Chains A and B, each alone.
Chain A
Amino acid sequence: MKRYFHGTAAIMKLYMRQNRVFTLVWLLLPGLWVAINTISSLVLFPTQEALVEMGVTLIDPLTVAIHGPLLDVSVAGFVTWRTKVFLVLLSGIFSIIYVMRHTRLAEEQGRRELLGANVTGSLSPFAAALLNMLLINAAAAVLALLGMTALGLDFTGSLAHCLGFFAAACVLGLVAGLVAQFFEGASAARGTSFGFLGLLFALHILWNVSGGNSLAAYLNPLEWPLLIRPFAGERFSVLLISLAITILLAALSLWMTHQRDVGAGLIPQREGRAFAKPGFRSLSALAWRTQKGLFLSWLIFYALFSFALGCASYLMVSAVSSAEALAELIARLGGVDRAFMSLMLYIVSMLISVYVLMSADILRQEETAKGELLLSLPVRRSRFATGHLVYILGGSAALALVSGLCVGLGAMIGTGDQSALSRLFFETAGKIPAIWAFGGISMLLFGALPRWMSGLSYGLLVLFVLLEILWEQQAVSDAVYALSPFSWVTPLKVAQPPSALVLLCAISALLAALGIILFGRRDAAMH
């Protein structure tokens, strides 16, 4: 045993000392989520009648597709029903990332080699990663259990709920540990693990929609929190299946680790192309190569998120109707759901500004890391910058337009209101000038103060968001708030002059052009 597991405890401690913020979020979020849901449910449904009423309204296809059937009409039953999918996905994703980081990624980056060269057993680093993952999930489940019982929910049901998501998260982490054995590249292994989770989720929705009680559902971790029936005649025996799968996965992946060389995989790394594609011959093509990962992942996320938001928009009618602060907005836009959507789109546009800054950061990183090489070629500096500007401005505009389209489509399907599509699409499109202002600011900083670019641009974004909050609390005047690009597209102000949008675009273009000119005149490729 010593040969295999010596030093496991020491490595566990070492892992625990790394990524503490990540671990803390993973540890606290499930409990917080359950607590928030419990408190809001207690407030929303003070009586059993209110619950019964709500229980009926909640049976719409979308909600059932995600959450499955409501097993017990009570606050406890409602909370477990609403939180279980999110809890499994959340802890599952954290577990996958954690296990992958300490297995395949560590091997790829050479950290595993360093551990293996020390006085450690051959399986210790892997065993430590799995044990820590189990421990953190267990602690998160205990915290959630404490939260639920402290808020007055019944112990047995709470225990079932927490054990359900604990078992599911652990199995997902163990799956990642097994997948890590197959691939040489960490990104391929991570992609396969998340792909598997996506498949399980698709099956989960399929079963919910068809209403079928497939026996195979007992093998899908996402079903366990439902099958364990918290607060509805708990069936703890489901956990025997989880336990069996856990032992099987752990044993199999440990055996495979034992069999293979460090760094090797069963599936060899895919070979790349020996020759570049004929079209890969310009700085624009290179900019696409470096920007596409960020752009496509944001595009897919925003398309899905916006569509879901649109679909769910009509559920908001009852949810936020009592918010008095929004009374004026609600009156102006004609309905709580419209006001809610306007605010959501406004927040989405603020988030897309983060994309602008990240995309501009790629330009700066390309300059510091590869600028020396690239600018030794017969290329203009301005072409180097504009190649990326296409993604900073065009990419963010595409994100806004796709978000608008998807939210509109979702709302059209969800409410049957045909006018929702064009209304929400153009409303989102109207935010683009404010998003572009951050592109202009970033480019100016890139040309003028490259070393401070990242810090200053993120700092400004935070400042503008703070101005927003302070203005809403009437702590700053309209004149100060007008400094923020967001103030010109906010739905909270009555009728904005259309010329403001044109002016924002003009200023953004001017700042970007100035930044590119300054970049042409400054020392390049300096760290």
Chain B
Amino acid sequence: MSVIEIRGLKKRFGKTVALDGVELSVPGGGIYGFIGPNGAGKSTTIRMLLGLLKKDEGDVRLLDGDPWRDAVELHKRLAYVPSDVQLWDNMTGGEVIDFLGRLRGSYTKKRRAELIERFDLDPTKKCKTYSKGNRQKVLLISAFVSDVELQILDEPTTGLDPLMKTVFQQCVREAKDAGKTVFLSSHILSEVEAVCDTIGVIRAGRIIEQGSMEELRALISQQEPPTLETLFMNYYRKDDERGT
């Protein structure tokens, strides 16, 4: 059973084509790595899944619902961490975590205390004094604190230090072990390689590769040198050749 099912999804902003027929399927109960260069359409796809943007064409199913029409009901079952983290200057990290948790409706004090401890966050500081990494921690805690079926994380680790990245990966694995689905958008390939079960590669508004990590490993082994990096660079190059 798939948690996310996208067929022929198109979205235009004025003359710019952001999504050009995206085909994507995320199986339930695993970690899905969503990779692609800047401006490929990662965030736009995620915003469609959240019902923030209206589709021009195609079909989107999220947790067996329509993300645009059933947004309120579906959002009870998911948590989201945006890539560009902006918080309220006059609120503390603790207040943000409580507020978001209460609105989402599924969190416990025990879990909150545990995550604040693991991510080593001072919840009494005002958000304006947090560094980017600390702001990200606030939202990661707020996402993992909720007992939801689906986590949508948009480049959540760009400001985190190596130690916190490890904590993050543990949290993601724990979510998977608890039978939840994680949709992880990233361009840190080592991270994707380390935790993901399935991978989708987006380029210029289209999915150009999708498969399990095992399938991808077979492709990687044909590269020279055999790394995900090389494979990724080759996708890049192919696209350039297509362009010229």
Contact = CB atoms under 8 A, between A and B. Distances in A.
Nearest to A383: B72
A373 B92 contact: no
Interface string A255-275: 000000000000001011111
B115 interface: no
Contacts of B74: 378
B129 A269 contact: yes
A272 B124 contact: yes
A272 B94 contact: yes
B125 A271 contact: yes
A522 interface: yes
B52 A371 contact: yes
Given A372-B52, A375-B52, A377-B100, A273 B94 contact: yes
A290 B47 contact: no
A111 to B, nearest CB: 15
A378 B73 contact: yes
Contact of B92 (A272, A522, A526): A272
Interface string A284-301: 011001100100000000
A521 B139 contact: no
A209 to B, nearest CB: 38
B163 interface: no
A523 interface: yes
Given A269-B129, A286-B99, A377 B75 contact: yes
A502 interface: no
A370 to B, nearest CB: 6
B219 interface: no
A379 interface: yes
Nearest to A373: B82
B236 interface: no
A377 B103 contact: yes
A514 interface: no
A316 interface: no
A452 interface: no
A276 interface: yes
| Of listed B52, B75, B124, residue having the most chain A CB within 10 A | B52
B80 interface: yes
Contacts of A276: 94-95, 98-99, 102
Interface residues of A, number: 33
Interface in B126-170: 126, 129, 139, 152
Contacts of B91: 272, 289
Given A272-B95, A272-B125, A280-B95, A373 B80 contact: yes
Contacts of B94: 272-276
A3 interface: no
Contacts of A379: 72, 75, 103
A273 B92 contact: yes
B75 A378 contact: yes
A281 B95 contact: no
A13 interface: no
A367 B84 CA distance: 14
A317 B100 CA distance: 58
Contact of A376 (B80, B90, B126): B80
Contacts of A282: 103
A296 to B, nearest CB: 13
B244 to A, nearest CB: 32
A58 interface: no
Interface in B58-82: 71-76, 78-80, 82
Interface in B29-60: 47, 50-54
A269 B104 CA distance: 31
A2 interface: no
Nearest to A286: B99
Given A376-B75, A378-B75, A523 B102 contact: no
A383 to B, nearest CB: 9
A268 B54 CA distance: 48
B88 A378 contact: no
Contact of A281 (B76, B90, B102, B123): B102
A373 B153 CA distance: 11
Interface of A: 269, 271-276, 280-283, 285-286, 289-290, 293, 369-373, 375-380, 521-526
19 contacts: A272-B92, A273-B95, A274-B123, A274-B124, A276-B94, A280-B102, A281-B99, A282-B103, A370-B87, A373-B80, A375-B51, A376-B78, A377-B103, A378-B76, A522-B54, A523-B52, A523-B53, A524-B52, A525-B47
Given A272-B92, A376-B78, 6 more contacts: A282-B103, A370-B88, A376-B82, A378-B73, A521-B54, A525-B47
